[in-house]
Amino acid sequence: MMNRRTIGAVLMLPLLASCGGSGEGLDQNGRPINGGGGGGGGGSALTPDLQSIQENVFTPICTACHAGAAAPLGFRLDAASAYAMLVNAPSVEVPALLRVSPGNPDSSYLIQKLEGHAAVGGQMPLGQAPLPQATINVIRTWIQNGAPAPAQAIDMLTRLATIAPTENEVLTRDAPEPLIAASGALELSSISTANLTVERSASGEFDDSGGVTLVHGATLAVRSNDPTVFSIELPESERVPGNYRVTLRGTGPVPVLDRQGRPIPDFILRYTIEDIP
């Protein structure tokens, strides 16, 4: 027979939980209002723009899982990745649907996941209370308005950055094509074979021209214009194991230009495709 002391210990267990933190001096995301303590603030009213949605929804709620290398399905929603990972990006679970289809909230997979009627997987945020419909409606409005990029990104010096793969990442043959984001709008007509090159090397060295093959037929698939986000599509016949280098040159006689006609800094991405299906 169990003694009363043990029963008492079990029944007292919830008391150990006490109550949550008082929240004194913190914003609604649990970050110090003065910005200290190693993280961003947030807590301003939610408005239908990506910066506000990032601060009030993606960062405090979604990045608990969707951040870093271990993000489920590689889907990251940190501030640096969210736009490129969302807008005009095919979902992994239902590739026929875009995560965010500008102007079409109903057909945006993000909305379907948040509202709980997606064809695959559970409602987000997983294991938590669903977002209030009022919050989802703000995200809907942002998408309905064309899913514009954060305002502060527009006037920045236009640079390219890889979203996936990361520099020197090793990929399998079925990995998605490289996804690259500009910090502003590129003049797409300035991109040509004169300034976009894709090379393949068996050794991983690109200095010795004898072992380097120029990959023909690479094309851009533009996902958004402002800021410009695009993937680089290789013909299936050229997508073979090897070390790859993608170069977009803002120097030389025919540079890649941004919408203001300014050459962009050179961009180089190296990655490897391994012989794994």
Partner 1 sequence: MTARLRIVTLLAVFISILVCGRAEAEPWFAVQQGFKCSQCHVNPAGGGMRNTFGQVWGQTALPEEHLDTGEPWTGEINKFLAIGGNLRASGSFTDTPHQRSLSSFDLDEMRLYVEVRAIPDRLSLYVDEKIAPGGAINSEAYGRLWTSNHQWYVQAGQMYLPYGIRLQDDTAFIRQVSGVNFATPDRGVQVGFESTNWSAQFAVTNGTAGGSSTPDGKQYSLRAEHVQSIWRVGASVNFNDSTGENRQMQNIFAGVRTGPISWLAEADYISDDNFTPKRKQVVGLLEANWAIAKGHNLKFTTEYFDPDRDVSHDYQDRWSIVWEYTPFQFLQLRVGGRNYDGIPQNDTQNRRLVFAQINGYF
Interface region with partner 1, contact rule CB under 8 A, candidates 121-129, 151-159, 238-246, 255-263: 121-129
Contact between 61 and partner 1 by CB under 8 A: the answer reads yes
Q: Which of 4, 34, 45, 70 binds partner 1 (CB under 8 A)?
A: 70
Question: What sign has the CA pseudo-torsion 149, 179, 212, 193?
Answer: negative
* 234/160 Cα distance (integer angstroms): 19
SS3 (DSSP) at 81: coil
- How many beta carbons lie within 10 A of that of residue 275, not counting itself? 9
Let me know: does 48 contact 138? Beta carbons within 8 Å. yes
Contact between 121 and partner 1 by CB under 8 A: the answer reads yes
Distances (CA, A) of 246 to 76, 89, 111: 23, 20, 34
Count of residues of this chain found to bind partner 1 when the rule CB under 8 A is applied: 66
* 111/140 Cα distance (integer angstroms): 7
Q: Which of 116, 146, 235, 252 binds partner 1 (CB under 8 A)?
A: 116
Q: What is the rounded (10 degree) CA torsion for 101, 155, 192, 88? A: -10
Least distance (Å) between residue 37 CB and partner 1: 4
Q: Which of 44, 128, 145, 251 binds partner 1 (CB under 8 A)?
A: 128
Residue numbers 172-201 binding partner 1 by CB under 8 A: 172, 175
Q: Which of 103, 130, 217, 235 binds partner 1 (CB under 8 A)?
A: 130
Considering the complex, state which of residue 155 and residue 167 has its C-beta at the smaller distance from partner 1: 167
Least distance (Å) between residue 263 CB and partner 1: 29
* 181/12 Cα distance (integer angstroms): 54
Interface region with partner 1, contact rule CB under 8 A, candidates 120-128, 144-152, 195-203, 251-259: 120-128
* 23/25 Cα distance (integer angstroms): 6
Contact between 171 and partner 1 by CB under 8 A: the answer reads yes
For the record, the structure tokens of 268 come out as: 């180089």
SS3 (DSSP) at 95: coil
Contact between 19 and partner 1 by CB under 8 A: the answer reads yes
Q: What are the residues binding partner 1 (CB under 8 A)?
A: 1-3, 6, 9-11, 13-32, 37-39, 43, 60-61, 64-65, 68-74, 93-94, 116, 118-122, 126-130, 132, 165-172, 175, 272
